[in-house]
Homo-oligomer: A and B are copies of this chain.
Amino acid sequence: MKLSTKGRYGLKAMVDLAIHSQDKHIALRHIAERQDISEHYLEQLIAVLRKSGLVKSVRGAQGGYSLALAPDEITVGDILRALEGSLAPVACVDENVTEECSEWDFCVTRVVWKEISDKVNEVVDSITLSDLLEEYNKKNSGKEYMYYI
């Protein structure tokens, strides 16, 4: 039930963008340095986020990335599901997977998986980047430069 680095790094990168890319774009290199993530690896993650429409890019020298939407329009759920796929603990309660398992009608453990799935999605869909930005400002008020996320 652990999240992979994709989801963790991806969310950190998105919060970094929310903090630093207000009406400008910033180079991946800077995000990677601040968050201490391999640049090449982060490149792959941000490619997914771009294809999901959460991030937009400017190519060429002085190019970079910025959020494709306002921070309050991007939820943690959007980010995590883009990078990790469904957050359902088992496939049978993943709404994108249509094939029912052979034991569907009699399965009693499914109610457990379904409840977990629902609660997890409820949590991540209720938190936006804007909420995390606020949390960041609270924790770092008065401090010069605090890039940790």
**Hey, which bits of chain A sit against chain B, CB under 8 A?**
1-3, 7-8, 11-12, 15, 76, 84, 87-90, 103, 105-109, 111-113, 115-116, 119-120, 122-124, 127, 132, 135-136, 139-140, 146, 148-149
Contacts and interface: CB of A to CB of B under 8 A. Distances in A.
B116 A112 contact: no
A112 to B, nearest CB: 5
Nearest to A109: B11
Nearest to A89: B3
A110 to B, nearest CB: 9
A139 B106 CA distance: 6
A120 to B, nearest CB: 6
Contact of A1 (B11, B87, B106, B140): B87
B108 A2 contact: no
B116 A148 contact: no
Contacts of A1: 1-3, 7, 84, 87-89, 120
